[in-house]
Each structure stands twice: as structure tokens, then as C-alpha cells.
Amino acid sequence: MASVQRPVAFGRYLLLDRISVGGMAEVFKGRAFGVEGFARFVAIKRILPHLAEDRRFVEMFITEAKVAVQLSHANIAQVYELGRQDADHYIAMEYVSGKDLLSLHHTLKRTGERLPVALTAFIGARVAEGLGYAHRKRGQDGRPMGIVHRDISPQNVLVSYDGAVKLIDFGIAKARIRSYEETQAGVLKGKFGYMSPEQIIDGDVDPRSDIFALGTVLHELLTGKRLFFGDNDFLTLELVREADVPPPSSLNPEVPAELDAILLRALARERADRYQTAGELADDLARYLHQSGPGLSGKGLADWMRTRFAEDLAEEKQRDEA
């Protein structure tokens, strides 16, 4: 996490640390204040300055907020408001104290570790539950919103030190509030290695595309290796298009046959052969966890996170108290 040189006032918020920066926006840890000493931590997502005048990016940013603010689920980071401070559009959202799966995976890889199999399945079940909710979500008019995330990747799954699992970043989501052509704009967006075959072939995505992407993330966590990763973008796209998926157990003997079967179904090349809903995937992962041993809960994940990242947690608390 890159700290700002000093806390910076930003409207009614105080920006403390820059958490991440992407192609469209940067995210800060901030603090919101109210009356009688009220204060809480928030995440502030701010469109990058050089894109502030690009109407296409601004509209994409606004659409993300309009989609995400309608979602209220334990496994989706809550959006509080869309605002504008001077020339900067921003989204204020729930701050999750923890790690995204990308940084978690990189930390484990450096030390030759893997995320325990049961915890991987638990995280997958929670993300699938959040996805299932988003896919089923209806608008205020009662019609399905038609939400497809389209960017399920390790960066967009957060695991908190308290054992919560949160899906973030609906920045390129397909939803009924804007046309698919507008979001696609003739350009493949997202991370190539986490796309589905149909997203690459013709861009015709539906909820089963998110299921494939989630399967890709879980396969990587179980094996410690990228599933689709070529020497260049073209080769990566070809690997996704072919979708030749080895069972995770071929790279990690700790993965049982039951979990192999779940992952291979989620990663079927043809959509008709995959889980048809994220809820079905969540149910199978939950069933596997129940049958494989004592029920795993968020507390088990929290205990592991707090033990494995004790130093990082202590450093964050120290900064918060400074």
C-alpha cells in the first residue's frame, strides 16, 4: 500500500493511503466524519485525473456506481455514494481491511505456500453467492437488471481479516441500464487470462461467463499457477479460447476428486456444460465443504488471515492510530 505523504482533505473525507491504482481509477483508504465524533473508514475510488475529461470513462465510472449502489449483499462491497469534488468524480464505498486475492496469492507464492484447499472452496462459495445475488437482481421496476460482472479476477475479490469475502469493481459490468455495445465499445476489457471463451470469441456474455471466470480464479488458488497464461496476449487469448483445463489435482495432490469435478464443470468450454447459475456452484462448494469435514466458517478464514498476515494487520492498526 502506497501512503500519501500526509492525510489529504477531499470534500467531507480525509484520504489516508492509496490502496491501488488501475487503468481507470485509483482507490484510497479514507475516513468519513459526522457529528458527535462519528468517524469510520471508507474506500474512495476516484477517476484518474487524465481521464476526468474523457466522457466515455466518466460515463463508465458513473454506471459502475449506479449498478453497484443497488446491490446489498454480504459478499459484495457496499457502495455508499457517487459524488464529485471539484473536477473529480468519486465513489465512496465500504472499506475492507484485508487482502485481495492477487496480493494474497503473490505472498504465498513467494514463500512456496498455497491457500489451504478448504479455505479456497469457502472463498469460492462466498463469491458465488454474491454473484448469484447480482445475477438475479431486479430493478425498481421489477425487471431483471441483467447484471454480468465480466471482470471476475483475483484483484476484485477481497478477503478481510475478519473472514469476510467481498466482490468489488462492477466497472465493466453488463447491465440493462446501458447497452452491451456501449460497454464493449469494440474493445475487450478486463484481464485476458480470466475471461471466458465466449467473451473472447464474440463478446456474448451471460452469468455463466462469470462462473467460468470464478472457476479460473479458484483453479489458480488451488494449483498456485495461472490457468491461462501465454508468452503474450495473443497466446493467452488462444489458451482461453481452447479452454483445455487440467484437473487441479494434477498440480496439487491435496485437491480431492469431488473438488476437481466442481472446478471442471465450472470451467467447461461450452456454457451448456457449466453450472447454469452461480447459486448451483455455491451449493456444490458448500456441500463439498460439509462432506469433507467440520463446517468451515468465516471464523476459520479469519483465524488463518490474522495468523498469516499478523504483521500486516499490526502495521495497519498502527497507522490507523497515528
Cα–Cα dist 226/305, whole Å: 22
Angle (CA) 270-275-276 rounded to 5° is 90
**Sequential DSSP letters for 185-229:** TTS--S-GGGS-HHHHHT----HHHHHHHHHHHHHHHHHSS-SS-
CB 212 within 8 A of CB 228: no
Find all residues with CB under 8 Å of 109, minimum gap 6, and list them: 224
Find all residues with CB under 8 Å of 90, minimum gap 6, and list them: 10, 44, 45, 46, 47, 82, 83, 84
Strands 88-94 and 79-85: antiparallel
54 is catalytic: no
DSSP H/E element including 109: helix 101-110
Count helices and strands in the chain by DSSP H and E runs: 11, 9
Q: Write out the three cell numbers for 228.
A: 491461462
DSSP state of 295: P
> Which of 86, 141, 151, 202 does the annotation list as catalytic?
151
CB 39 within 8 A of CB 33: yes
Backbone φ and ψ for 211, nearest 5 degrees, come out as -60, -45
CB 108 within 8 A of CB 114: yes
CB 16 within 8 A of CB 4: yes
Cα–Cα dist 122/139, whole Å: 29
Catalytic residue numbers read: 151
